Amino acid sequence: MSASVTRSEAVDTAHGAVRGAEQQGVRIFRGLAYGASTAGPNRFRPPQPPEPWTGERDAVAYGETAPQTFSRLALGGTKGNRPVLGEDCLRLNVWTPGCDDAKRPVMVWFHGGGFEAGTGSMLLYDGSNVARRGDVVVVTVNHRLNVFGHCILDGLGDEFSGSANAGFLDLVAALEWVRDNIAGFGGDPGNVMIYGQSGGGRKVSIAMAAPVASGLFHRGVVQSGSHLRLLDRDRAAGLTAALLDQLDIPRTEPLRLQDVSMDDLVAAQARVRGRFSPTDDGVVFDGNPWDPDAPALSSSIPLMVGTCRTELSNQVGSMDPTSFDITEDQLPERLSRYVPADDVTALVATVRRSSPDASPPEVFFTIATARGYWLDSVLQTERKAAQGGAPVWSYRVMWRTPVEGGRRITPHSLDLPFVFDNVDVAPDMVGEPTDETAAMADAMSEAWISFARSGDPNNTAIPAWAPYDLDRRAVMHFDVEQHVVDDPHHDERMAFSRYDTQQARGKVLHR
């Protein structure tokens, strides 16, 4: 432990006392167990409580990262000090200005990576700066992913009830831990915000519709992760059957999956076509969370929803670098993978009216992004606004990153260094710190902190921001200068609304 890091005071939890570290005025507790190991007989079961302990347990190192196909998304901790992959992964981390009776707002972060990868222990998610800036408590969570978290095992009895959504039940268990323990860390269990980006935003989306999570949180933020529909139960059962085939296990003996080694199970699920993900199982969920309407269960919960302008310049650009060199003549063929070929010419013209200086690659990334990320975010926002309950705020990140000569424009995940006020650790995403990046961090981190505190993102770092409604459609544009625009990109919104398969039901007012 370096000279600038000291031991924190001990905190009593429901299972035993823990002692973390203190650095620059923030107490940090890493690797806190909110559930028992999910290995062996606990694999695929709902989360079980951790065994209590006596004395004090050190909480200075991150816990295990959920099993997954190794990728940069699995890289928690720091170089040379990475947590291992393992099934004892029901761990969370806490950053707090003080373990006292201050009853601070609590910000619980659900990490990205879809439902198959990622960790809450990434350096980018370090909560120190936000905790210090906003006098709030930040919590990040690890939980089961992919086949470990979403393998439907019908017919095996109550012990495995909810196995198709075990990874989500882990998040519920983490929120229950927050409810029962966070007061000892200076937090207010009656003022909890859940937020997440990409897959984390998807987890927030479905939590808004989950009876088992009701009452455990009080605001939500969905960053580039609007999740409207769940995996069909039959499709989920098909994935389990395919997994059993991969492992030469008879389909009549699914319980043998508990005996497969962690590494072999990871490898086998990677060979199955399709993604193990939250399922409309009739146990944890009964119907789609945001289709055809916003969930009535969370009508009283304020929500923020937003995206980055060219999300897919991250994923598609990384998988196929030739995307950055697309010519005007290549646009029809490239875009036909995302939208009907007959629509390409009209959509290109629509985007050019909004962004007349856009290069062919920018037009490509804008349309590809709008077809998925943006359309789903608009639908989610509209449905929440139409519900007439708690307000919903809409935003869009428009700031253009200078890295790689600016070719990624405004990619997926660009919001993360700003929301966490961690620009200094993300030069590969936003470049070296500048006045622009400082302004972005001020605006976004303060908006998120304000929303956690009161359910309203307005603060002195941004102009007045009205909730979204179906008349004005106010959207905050986070850019070099923040500004609110009424119904921005109206023509694009109208053009892409045709791809909503539920439009014919008349549940959303497109106009």
Strand partners, 195: 109, 221
Cα–Cα–Cα angle for 497, 502, 506, rounded to 5 degrees: 85
pLDDT (tens place) for every residue of the chain, 511 residues total? 554 789 888 999 999 999 999 999 999 999 999 999 999 999 999 999 999 999 999 999 999 999 999 778 888 888 888 999 999 999 999 999 999 999 999 999 999 999 999 999 999 999 999 999 999 999 999 999 999 999 999 777 788 999 999 999 999 999 999 999 999 999 999 999 999 999 999 999 999 999 999 999 999 999 999 999 999 999 999 999 999 999 999 998 999 999 999 999 999 999 999 999 999 999 999 999 999 999 999 999 999 999 999 999 999 999 999 999 999 999 999 999 999 999 999 999 999 999 999 999 999 999 999 998 999 999 999 999 999 999 999 999 999 999 999 999 999 999 999 999 999 999 999 999 999 999 999 999 999 999 999 999 999 999 999 999 999 999 999 999 999 999 999 999 999 998 875 433 334 433 4
Which residue in the list 111, 412, 446, 489 is annotated as catalytic?
Answer: 412
Pick from 250, 248, 208, 255: which is nearest to 230 by CA?
Answer: 208
Q: Does 198 qualify as catalytic in the annotation?
A: yes
Which residue in the list 8, 161, 163, 198 is annotated as catalytic?
Answer: 198
Q: Across the chain, which distance is largest between two alpha carbons, in Å?
A: 69
Spell out the domains of the chain, with CATH numbers in brackets: 12-270 (3.40.50.1820), 310-396+405-505 (3.40.50.1820)
Q: What's the confidence (pLDDT) of residue 511?
A: 45
Q: Does 150 qualify as catalytic in the annotation?
A: no
Residue 75, by phi and psi: left (phi above 0), alpha (psi -120 to 50) or beta? beta
Q: Are 277 and 285 in contact (CB under 8 A)?
A: no
Q: What's the confidence (pLDDT) of residue 72?
A: 81
CA distance 171 to 419: 21
Which residue in the list 64, 311, 436, 492 is annotated as catalytic?
Answer: 311
Length of the chain: 511
CA distance 126 to 138: 9
Q: Does 56 qualify as catalytic in the annotation?
A: no
Q: Are 205 and 226 in contact (CB under 8 A)?
A: yes
The encoded tokens of residue 331 equal: 């646009």
Tokens 């995940």 correspond to 413
